[in-house]
Amino acid sequence: MAEGTVAADQLRLFIERIERLEAEKRGMADDIRDVYAEAKANGYDPKIMRLMVRLRKMETHTRQEQAAMAETYASALGVQYWLPL
Amino acid sequence: MAEGTVAADQLRLFIERIERLEAEKRGMADDIRDVYAEAKANGYDPKIMRLMVRLRKMETHTRQEQAAMAETYASALGVQYWLPL
Amino acid sequence: MAEGTVAADQLRLFIERIERLEAEKRGMADDIRDVYAEAKANGYDPKIMRLMVRLRKMETHTRQEQAAMAETYASALGVQYWLPL
Amino acid sequence: MAEGTVAADQLRLFIERIERLEAEKRGMADDIRDVYAEAKANGYDPKIMRLMVRLRKMETHTRQEQAAMAETYASALGVQYWLPL
DNA sequence: ACGTTTGCGCTTTAGC
DNA sequence: GCTAAAGCGCAAACGT
């Protein structure tokens, strides 16, 4: 079997793995849509739900951002700092 | 148990299902990145790989349309027009 | 006037110059968006236009390299890739 | 003059306007770099300066974001609201 | 000078 | 179909 064929097969394998994963990822997105739809069918407003999800994400993310900013600031200023654990 | 509590719990459940699915979706994205990285480590060019994934995803007639339009534009602009859609 | 004040003023000046320039830069970006919108209103496809801008920006030999590699990959994957040669 | 030529010329014009604007935008970016360099030559730390610029931007942006979020929230809940002017 | 890491802009996607 | 938000790749900037 030629070298070129081996390489081609390896490339195909990588591509197919990626396509498989992308399909799964798309499936997750679909599932999320379904949950919103189901919640709506139970009388909840999807728009408000999305807002809540976003807020909860922000609260988590904001904490991390604050910590990162503190670290950057401290390092930029050459300050020794300890997190209050 | 009060009615309000039941509803609140149900809402919580929906929100948590969504957050769980979003986390999984993020995991898929990470896996995809990893595959591209692995392919790169094996000597493949991720950029061209992404092009191939895009092309395979495209319907044939869409490709033809896009190509025809691109060719028209290129000739109007005098662009020697080798690659990447 | 104290030394510290002079330095503070100088720093302020630098910062404000930067912020002014960043604002102008953002304005340029907005103008570009407007041109694409205007072109679209005149019947041109912004997506293909962006492709053309990218191609014109590319060096010729880079285009050739990319094209050659893409062709190799496409043939390895059996992608009918008449598209943008 | 043929119709096709008119269209081609119009397209060319749009593309060239875009390229001109992109060049100006790039120029702005270069100017910004220069200011940082000049400030550094005057003894200021570019990293700290960037941090300051970012912080000042965030303060502004956070206000807008808060306002937008409030509006979204109010609209999602169907609440009538007035800003305290 | 190079590799790593962060910030920026673009592209794509989802909701209205 | 459009407008807004998120994900992603790319490039510049910092540290070694």
pLDDT, one tens digit per residue, over B1-26 is 677 788 889 999 999 999 999 999 99
Answer whether C70 sits within 8 Å of B51, measured CB to CB: yes
Cβ–Cβ of A15/B42 closer than 8 Å?
no
pLDDT band of C82, cuts 50, 70, 90: low
From residue B44, how far is each of A10, A14, B49, B82, C73 by CA, in Å?
A: 10, 10, 8, 21, 9
Higher pLDDT among residues C65 and B33, named by residue: B33
* Largest Cα–Cα separation, chain C: 76
In the structure, what pLDDT confidence band is assigned to residue D14 with cuts at 50, 70 and 90? very high
B48 C-beta neighbours (distance < 10 Å), count: 19
Judged against a pLDDT cut of 90, whether residue A84 lies above it is answered with: no
For the stretch D48-68, pLDDT in tens is: 999 999 999 988 888 888 888
Report the C-alpha gap between D48 and A79 in whole angstroms: 13
* Site of tokens 């394998």: A13
Contact B57/C at CB under 8 A: no
Nearest nt by C1' to B47 Cα: F9
Token digits for A57?
């994400």
Task: Average the pLDDT over A8-34 and give the result.
Answer: 97
pLDDT of residue D66: 87
- D15/B77 Cα distance (integer angstroms): 9
Which residues lie near nucleic chain E, judged by CB under 7 A?
A 26, 29, 32-33, 36, 46-47, 50, 72; B 54; C 25, 29, 32, 47, 50, 54; D 54
In angstroms, how far is E3 C1' from B43 CA?
19
Average pLDDT over residues A74-81: 83
- Does C77 contact B at CB distance below 8 Å? yes
Buried b (16+ CB within 10 A) or exposed e, C39-49: beeeebeeebb
CA of D69 to C1' of E15 (A): 17
Q: Which residues touch strand F (CB under 7 A)?
A: A 25, 54, 75; B 22, 26, 29, 32-33, 36, 46-47, 50; D 33, 36, 46-47, 50, 68
Instruction: Give the per-residue pLDDT at B6.
Output: 86
- Over pLDDT 90: what percentage of chain D? 59
pLDDT at position C85:
36
Render pLDDT for C17-71 as a digit per residue (tens, 0 to 9).
999 999 999 999 999 999 999 999 999 999 999 999 998 998 888 888 888 888 8
pLDDT in tens, C5-15: 888 899 999 99
**Mean pLDDT score of chain D:** 89
Residues from chain D contacting residue B73 (CB–CB below 8 Å)? 11
Residue C78 touches chain B, beta carbons under 8 Å: no
Cα–Cα distance measured from residue D16 to residue D24, given in angstroms and rounded to the nearest whole number: 12
